[in-house]
Chains A and B, each alone.
Chain A
């Protein structure tokens, strides 16, 4: 194993960075190899087994012939798509579409409103600007989740006037989510907007572009990476929200995946297991893929957001 490691190190030594050890060119051997590198492989294997076994288990359960919890314990003893087919007889796909629509609408709305607000704070100097930024910080400390009783009662009242803005309406849920659009995201985007030189939009304005044109055509293109991150984070947030979705969406055909899958597992856990596993695998695949793909940006986004 040591020799293999050594040969690869010589191949890759061309792109070594400055902050590696002084002895980088020669890999240690024997006990020294163990002390410096070997244990790391052991830790990595343990860590990966720990991280991956529940996920391997659920994939196996989704492919298992038995739809029950007991039958899913022997990993990959049988492989069939029966559970996936059975999803068709349930409301799973309705929930998936609901989740997708609600998440996408929320993400788009959040991105547009957050970007517009960040643009205003970053580019204009107006009275109340500092106050506005400070108030946003304070409001952000009171999570909307904590006010769920008031949100519920508010929608109860609104629903008496305009049913589509009240309980059991998917539009109303999106609007509630959009209520939180300015909170965290404005700061995340504000920092990013500030890194775009102002001279760019001033030049465009002198060339005759209007404010709106500067915003839509020039600035938004330049800040596209942060828009993608905010959009994805907002999508995942609405995807994972259970409390508000459960309170607001009352009829089964309006549920999201979080509410629906919870229902499957909470009543008759044992009987619905295979179908839950299949549903979970299907709905996790796109999220996991997107996540791994955008991982770098998400982490930098998270870091930037909470340090601010």
Chain B
């Protein structure tokens, strides 16, 4: 049955040779007649190629050369694999492998890379983009500059500005710098029409006031050349950056204060007095993120609390669900019980009910003021289940028990039934009492069967994002509000909160990725150690 049999087993060498002869048959038939299968393959690969070439072209045009080259490599590989006669196993592996490589292997590797960068808010892009953003953000109206008669225009939903300069009409949008607009009509000093644009009336401008006030139209393609902006939608002024970037010296100079900012190794421009500009870029920061997680008390204190709770949560979850499940399994494991099948089906209802909805359901039932638990079961008690640190933890464990015990019930039932009856009978004949049989026969045999499942269950609960996010969202929050983390947060929800992707805090992809790596190391270590242990358990018996 095992495919990795040693070659002494007779059919292994056969399977080594047979494909070769069969291959030859296939090769001949393929070369001579083009079966329908060949055309199906041709059509599919052609489709993939067409889409792929499209992606390559777009990526190239957008300047994403990495995406383009990866796509080219994938396309070449696809065509080689499906049109050569040699790479037979690859034909079956490639589709899954391609997805695995892009969306999992790459993502995991990329996580590892981000963990060593300062990627996040304030360090969002490349240095060039950061410089451009700094120049734009620090624009001020050029003093005593000319006021240009201005109109707000719109083209395909994009707002733009048009001005009259020396009798010529210039028009541009957020993305395109000012250009001379031919055939524009100017009536009584106001721009009334421009081909390709709609000139907005006063009502439209009022409706989109804030968008108009934020609108910035570059004077030319050079980010340093300044822009046209308007406050009142009738006259525009030239704004120009108070920062000047010198490419040769690689430094920023403020035209107002004269301060010189030079790049530091944190990906920011820094003055000699240690003042930094507010937009930086991504740089490799080595182990800084890991140092922050373990060393900086703002993060390390909550981190260790969360780490301990994560272990408590996942261990208690497994143990409590296991014992409750086992107890019910033992209780219902008697052939003489009537309606056993129906009882079992009813017992696994919580497992069949989609887990995320169970969490939301319990969130409602545990509500302090209106929830079923307080108002009905506890007769109008006023217990703040999800708001008190300890009660919230208890609630999480209680809900997890309800959601998780049927799974344990199922696997324990299966394991109990697979314990051979004659072994137990033999023990009975030897004079062992019920307790002794249970302790020395049933329990060890059961544990061998379910131990790997308990470990998987632990690993699953260690990253059980849904229960925490849906039931408590990590709350109640720690008193110290410096990090958006709370008493019931486990590591994965802490990563989610710190990444800032939930919108609750500034984004810090670097630190979040570093924590992901830490979680991975913990889970992997625990799994490896405990699988070793269970294997030795198996050998002893």
What residues make up the interface of A, taking CB atoms closer than 8 Å to B? 4-5, 8-9, 16-20, 22, 24, 27, 36-37, 39-41, 43-44, 47-48, 50-52, 54-55, 57-58, 68-70, 72-73, 112-114, 116-117, 119-122, 124-126, 129-130, 132, 139, 141-154, 157-158, 160-162, 165, 175-176, 178-183, 186, 194-195, 198, 202, 205-206, 208, 210-213, 215, 236, 239-240, 242-243, 247, 258, 261-262, 265-266, 269-270, 273, 276-277, 280, 283-284, 287-288, 291-292, 295, 299, 302-303, 306-307
Contacts and interface: CB of A to CB of B under 8 A. Distances in A.
13 contacts: A48-B346, A70-B375, A120-B91, A125-B15, A144-B107, A145-B492, A149-B495, A157-B64, A205-B25, A240-B355, A243-B466, A295-B352, A306-B456
Interface of B: 1-4, 11, 15-16, 18-19, 22, 25-26, 29-30, 35, 37, 41, 54-55, 58-59, 62, 64, 67, 88-93, 95-97, 99-100, 102-108, 110-111, 114, 119, 327-328, 331-332, 334-338, 343, 345-358, 360-365, 367, 369-372, 375-376, 402, 406, 410-411, 414, 419-422, 424-425, 452-453, 456, 463, 465-466, 469-470, 473, 492, 495-496, 499, 501, 509, 512-513, 516, 519-520, 523-524, 527
A211 B29 contact: no
Q: Which of A158, A262, A270 has the most CB of B within 10 A?
A: A262
Contacts of B371: 69
A261 B96 contact: no
A84 to B, nearest CB: 16
Contacts of B425: 22
| Top-5 shortest CB links A-B | A19-B421, A179-B103, A113-B96, A120-B92, A291-B352
A198 B452 contact: no
Given A139-B104, A303-B453, A179 B99 contact: yes
B133 to A, nearest CB: 17
Contacts of A17: 335, 421
A154 B513 CA distance: 14
A165 B337 CA distance: 56
B402 A54 contact: yes
Contacts of B18: 202
A239 B337 contact: no
Contacts of A273: 364
Contact of A116 (B37, B93, B358, B501): B93
A73 B516 contact: no
B81 to A, nearest CB: 12
A299 B131 CA distance: 58
A195 B420 CA distance: 24
Contacts of B331: 39-40, 43-44, 47
Interface of chain B, main secondary structure = helix
B376 to A, nearest CB: 5
A205 to B, nearest CB: 4
A165 B59 CA distance: 12
B93 A153 contact: no
A296 B470 CA distance: 29
Contacts of B357: 261, 280, 283-284
Given A146-B111, A261-B357, A280-B361, 14 more contacts: A9-B336, A24-B335, A51-B348, A68-B370, A70-B375, A120-B89, A151-B107, A178-B99, A178-B103, A212-B37, A239-B354, A243-B465, A292-B352, A306-B456
Contacts of B37: 210, 212-213
Nearest to A112: B95
Contact of B2 (A8, A51, A194): A194
Given A70-B370, A151-B103, A280 B470 contact: no
